[in-house]
Amino acid sequence: MKTTLAPKAGFCFGVKRALDLAMHTAKEEEKKIYTLGPLIHSPQVVEDLSRKGLKVVQDIEDIPEGVIIVRSHGVGPEVFVRAGEKGLKVIDATCPFVKKAQELAKKLNEQGYQVIVVGDKEHPEVTGILGWTGNQGIVVETPEQAESMPAMDKIGIISQTTQPEENFNKIVSVLKEKAADTITYNTICHATRDRQDAAVELARSVDVMIVVGGKNSANTQKLARLCADTGTPTYHIETAGEINRKWLSGMELVGITAGASTPDWIIEEVRSYMEDVTSQENEKMQLEEALSVKELRKGDIVRGVVVQVGDDEVLVDVGGKSEGVIPMRECSCCDIRSPKEMFNVGDTVEVAVIRVQDDEGKILLSKRKADAEKAWDELAQAVTDKNVVQGVVMEVVKGGLLLDVGVQAFMPASLVERGYVEDLSKYVGERLQARVIEVKKESRKVILSRKAVLEEEYSKKRAALWEEIEEGQVRKGTVRRMTNFGAFVDLGGIDGLLHVSEMAWYRVGHPSEILKENDEIEVFVLGVDKENEKVSLSLKKIIPNPWDNIEQKYSTGQVVTGKVVRLVPFGAFVELEPGVDALVHISQLSQKRIGTPGEVVSVGEQVTAKVIDVDSEKHKISLSIKELAEKEPEAHQPEAQQDEVTETVLQEDVPAPTIGEGLDPETHKKLMEKVEETAEEEPAQVNPNEEKPAE
């Protein structure tokens, strides 16, 4: 007997958080501590907490003073109000997923929606959620109840966090026909959904299922019901002491899962018990096999142990008078070069008896026929139940892959991955999971799709990511696609837009200047719009701003070198470093009077200039080239004429290109302030054919 523990079994995040808060409170508080109802649905854990001083009460009025711990199921707002009136200290251990459902219920109610909670009417979590609607919400447990409801103007639907997804979706489908204005929030905890899916998948592959958890736990009851619905015998227990050995008699595969309130030590106790039973059963089986010789008949499906693997045959001990032989042609449904590709000495295999005794007195066996006999029924059932099957890729053929799933199955190239695969040979020898999309036994045809499995995993991953992604996070992603306006980054199921303006502190003309497709990068989450499924990202938020502490790098009077990156009518912009551009006003380009900056400098030219002003707050640096040039005698300009010129310049939107020579420092400063107001970057020219971000 083999025992397998389902993934995600045991404490969920919300329960563990509540328990940690309770343990910390018991350690730190000197006052009496109470929990409003059992903290979690595990009598063993509640008893342990009681020994540590945590008393369970059913009503807040039963608490005279001290500390109240709100359990993970949450409560209505009236409990918090009453606790304040009684002067009680409140430790809120409400599960974050439940808290989210409460907030949404309150919001929908305030917006005039009839709130409908999909869940169990008597469950404390649902009772608490209803409290946040002013007890105006309605609870629906089944699609039939939803069908009987009258039409309404506005419906807002949320879910108990532990609801099975299938039931929620069916009810939502019915309710959407009841109102023109319907808002749906899937508030099912993704950890609960994953736990249920893992338990069901395991139940379908074992002979018996053991579900461990409190008998009064709705979460565990649902697990047991879902496992039983697969047709596998299922037993709900709280401790290993409740296991009846008759449940395990003759069973080869036993699956174990546990509810969200089940502590690890109880799960381990059940596993240890199973291992003891397995050890005893193995000893008994070995003794029985040693004392008996099987009578074999043609067509029997028997189990044996590989004792020798040759180049063209395999010897198997099936408990007969002699060892059986599997010829190479009977090893697999697919062509193989040698049995050594499939078998190792000591392997346990199921084989079909083709002939009890051949000309040489050997028992002739076939693994191919045994696999096929079992596989056809399983494949047909997999289509009905939408189960996942596994198979080994045997070879690449025209249009796809051939897999051994007990029989030969074909997987079209278009159904191997979510996207196009150029080289299929890398899958040969790999074990792949797939959905069975077509089975025809009479024509020995089986069609598989791995893409369907990957799409489901992608959807779950995407849903989980939408639950956890928030503004302000730094996340890893992969650059998938670039456009003129930015790059789309895959965050692991969600594509976020990294706009070109958020790629660097300097001006980026096209994303390809700093990124390429399939780059792995870290990005800052600027904004999250869950309703429209949009995420905006930034690179420059997680890299240093070159203007920080700029005055420590550049100071008045310092001589610097940079590259001319842009010419405008009033001067030239010089890049001192990526992200830091300084302005050389036209009046500071030359000792001579000039009409345009292009008469003195050109884009791309390296120039040396003197820093004449640094404004860290406005991110502006002013340079002068002429102050480094050899001074030439200047014609004296009468003061009255100077004032007239200055006044004219300051009245214009853009300074006249010839103004500036011979101005006194105060006038020059006023002139520069006016120029800086108009020195914003010129708007980019828009190409009407350029791809634009989706609205």
Q: For 287-320, what is each residue's pLDDT tens digit?
A: 455 545 567 788 888 888 998 998 889 999 887 6
455 is catalytic: no
Q: Which of 30, 61, 125, 682 is catalytic?
A: 125
Q: Please give the CATH number for the structural domain made up of 12-92.
A: 3.40.50.11270
Crossing angle for the helix pair 190-203 and 450-468, to the nearest 10 degrees: 150
**Which of 34-48, 266-280, 632-646 is the least confident region?**
632-646
Q: Which CATH architecture has domain 112-188?
A: 3-Layer(aba) Sandwich (3.40)
Q: Distance between CA 291 and CA 310 in Å, rounded? A: 29
What distance in Å separates the CA atoms of residue 206 and residue 228, rounded to the nearest whole number?
12
Cα(296)–Cα(308) distance, rounded to whole angstroms? 21
Q: At 420, which helix (H) or strand (E)? A: none
**Is residue 214 over pLDDT 70?**
yes
**Residue 282 binned pLDDT confidence (cut-offs 50, 70, 90):** low
Q: Is the confidence at residue 10, as pLDDT, over 50?
A: yes
In the CATH scheme, what is the homologous superfamily, with its name and number, of domain 469-542?
A: Nucleic acid-binding proteins (2.40.50.140)
The pTM of the whole model exceeds 0.85: no
Domain 301-370 has CATH 3.30.1380.10: no
pLDDT at 115 over 90: yes
In this prediction, residue 612 has a pLDDT band, given cuts at 50, 70 and 90, of very high
Q: What is the pLDDT of residues 673-695, one digit of tens each?
A: 555 554 444 443 334 334 444 43
Q: Does the fold of domain 556-630+637-677 match that of domain 301-370?
A: yes
CATH of domain 556-630+637-677: 2.40.50.140
Lowest mean pLDDT across 4-13, 103-112, 248-257, 527-536 = 4-13
Quote the pLDDT of residue 286: 57
**DSSP string for 318-350:** -SSSS-EEEEGGGT-SS--S-GGGT--TT-EEE
The predicted model gives 256-261 an average pLDDT of 87
**Average pLDDT estimate for 67-96:** 90
List the domain boundaries for the chain. 12-92, 112-188, 301-370, 469-542, 556-630+637-677
Alpha carbons 648 and 630: distance in angstroms, whole number: 29
Residue ranges of alpha helices (H) inside 613-680 are: 639-651, 665-677
Residue 321 has pLDDT above 50, yes or no: yes
Mean pLDDT of 93-101: 89
Instruction: Categorize the per-residue pLDDT at 670 as very low, low, confident or very high, splitting at 50, 70 and 90.
Output: low
